[in-house]
Copies of this chain bind each other. A is one copy, B any other.
Amino acid sequence: MTEIPRQAGRPREEATAPALMDAARRLVRTNGYDKVSITQIIKEAGVSRQSLYRRWPTKADLVLEAFFESASQGAFGDERHPDQGSARQRLLDLLISIFDHIARDGAAMRSLIASAQEDPQFRASFIEKFVLPREEIVTDILQRAVESAELPPQSDVAMLSAMIHGAFWYRMLNDWPLNTAFAKAMVSQIFGS
C-alpha cells in the first residue's frame, strides 16, 4: 500500500478513462473501427477532446486498451491450467479459444494491426502489450512439448511459433475462415497426424 504522493494540480476525473473505454468498445463493436470517429467517442463518453488525448496518444491506443487489456473480460488465449494435459491438447484448446475471440473482436484486432503499420510508436506498444505476451504463451507450450518429447528435440520453437501465429494472422487478414477444423489441421501439422 505505497501512498503515491499526489502532485499539485487538479486530479484527473476517475470516471473519464473507463467511460472512454466503454464508449470505444461499444461503438467499435457496433460500427467497426474506422467508422468510429474520435468525436463520436468523446460525445458518447460525455467528455472533451483533450481529456481523451491526455490519456491516449491515438485512437488505436485507446482501442487496444479497451479491447485487449481488460483482464476481467478474458483476453485472447487464457491459459488456465498450464500444467494439465498434453501439449498437443493445450495448443488445440488455445487455438480454439483464440479463434472464438477473433470471431467477436477480430475486426478490431485487424484494425489495430493496420494502425501498427502506419505508426511506429503505436507498433512498439502493440508488440509489447499484445504480440509478445501471446508469443510467450505459445512458445511455452512448445518448449514443454519438446521437454516431454511430444516434439522432436531439435525443434525450432521460435520458428514454429512464428508459423502458428503467422498462419492465423495471414488467414484473418485475408478473410479466410478460422474455425475448429483449421485449428485441428494446424495442430496436426505441428505434432504430426
Interface residues, chain A, with chain B CB atoms under 8 Å away: 33-34, 110-111, 113-118, 123, 127, 131, 154, 156, 159-160, 162-171, 173-176, 185-186, 188-189, 193
Contacts and interface: CB of A to CB of B under 8 A. Distances in A.
A185 to B, nearest CB: 5
6 contacts: A116-B173, A131-B174, A159-B189, A162-B167, A165-B170, A166-B171
Copies of the chain in the assembly: 2
The 8 nearest A-B residue pairs measured at CB? A166-B166, A166-B170, A114-B117, A114-B114, A166-B167, A163-B163, A110-B117, A162-B167
Contacts of A163: 163-164, 166-167, 186, 189
Contacts of A33: 118
A102 to B, nearest CB: 13
Contact of A115 (B114, B116, B168, B169): B114
Given A114-B117, A166-B167, 13 more contacts: A113-B173, A114-B115, A116-B173, A123-B174, A154-B193, A159-B167, A162-B171, A166-B168, A166-B170, A166-B171, A169-B169, A169-B170, A170-B170
Nearest to A116: B173
A111 B116 contact: no
